[in-house]
Every structure is written in C-alpha cells, then in structure tokens.
Amino acid sequence: MILVPAIDIINGQCVRLTKGDYDTKKVYSKSPLEVAKAFEGAGLTHVHVVDLDGARAKHIVNSKVLEAIATKTSLQVDFGGGIKSKIDLQTAFDCGASMVTLGSIAVSNPELVLEWLETFGTEKIILGADAKDRRIATHGWEQDSGIDVLDFVKNYTQKGFEHVLCTDVAKDGMLAGPSLELYYELIAAMPDISLIASGGITTMDDIYQCAELGCSAAVIGKAIYEGKIALKELENYQLEQN
C-alpha cells in the first residue's frame, strides 16, 4: 500500500481543516515546498496536494505551489481542488501533476469527466468520492449532492474508472480513525477498484488496517502535522513493504 502524505493549501500556505470546515483552518507551514521536501527526505514517493482556494473558487488558484512541489522534488503529485474545465486540467498537468483527482466536476459534468478519462487514461485520472453521511459532498465539501457514495463509485467504475480516492468528511481532521466499514463496503462491492483511503488516519495501526482491507493507498494528513505519526514510522513502513 502506497503512503500518500497530504498538503492542503490556502493562500499559498500548508493548512489543515477539520471536517472540511474552512473556519477551522490551522496553518502548519508557510512553505508547502519545504513540507514536501521533508516527505521526500523520509523516502515517501507520492503526495496529495489539494488547492482548497481552488475548490471554493471553482478554478485552480495555487498552481505555482503545485509547480514548485512537482519540479523541485521527485514526488509524484496527485492534485485536486478547483478543476472545472479543460484549461484547469491542462494547467494541473503542465505544472507537473502526475495525476489529478476529480470530485465536484464528476457530479456536475459526468460527460466531460468521462471524455477526460478517455483522453488521459485511467492512471492519470482519479475519481474523488467525498462522502458526508454517505452522500457525495462537492465544492470544498460545502454542498450535498444527495448521491449515495456506493452508487456514485459503482457508476463510474462501470464506465472505466479504476482509481478512487474516498474521503469520509466526518472523519477528516478528527484524528479518530478511518472509515473502515465504508472502505470494506466499497471493496466488497467492487473488488477490482484501486481504493485510496483518506480521512481520519491517526495511528500506524490504522495504516495496517487499511492495507489489510485491500486499500491500494492511504492519504495521511493531520496525524503527521500533529505528531501522531512520525515521518520515521512512515519511512520504516515503506522499507518493510520492499
């Protein structure tokens, strides 16, 4: 299972929110690049970068931060937040994103998302399934689509999506453990999907449990910033897997 530390960006700074609430913003670093370099130094290979300004503005805002991380580290960047048009998508790839996660646009414009999947391929496009009370949440998690998360993922995997990043909004930033039951349900219903667990991971035990369930990757955010999981522990985990 791939370990994917998260960098969430507001005003060019590295922040974390609680349950996606912008009013809970806590700044952890004024230099997302330095944070990314620390991840790289710990032997991590991937990073999940979220443009929270972009998620609200409905277009990419922090492209320069993405470009700095992508060009000045060897990390593979999965980028999300604010991708609503082909221009945004191209900007993300031009700035060095290895892959993009599409969430809100997959609700509002499925035809366009499927067109992008065909153009760029399944290794470049990840389906973002952000669930709040089992319903897909959009636009920085501030809107409820009313669509059941299982139905949403099933529909898109039947149309060719292979990689799904699922965040349980209620767990995000709470340091209370991941949504293992939801992940189990998704993998049981769709055994062939590559499921990326996100939200609530607090301990190394949570990471082992996600791996045991069959998750292909796990996104780790606040647990790193609050010192619940040390970068050395993540480095050791990766060495164990090799």
Active-site residues: which are they? 8, 130
| Cα-Cα end-to-end distance for the chain | 11
Name residue 8's beta-bridge partners.
Answer: 15, 50
Which helix H or strand E contains 22, and what residues bound it?
strand 21-29
Distances (CA, A) of 135 to 3, 95, 147, 179, 229: 26, 32, 5, 14, 29
Neighbours of 118 (CB within 10 A): 12
* Count of positions (residues) in the chain: 242
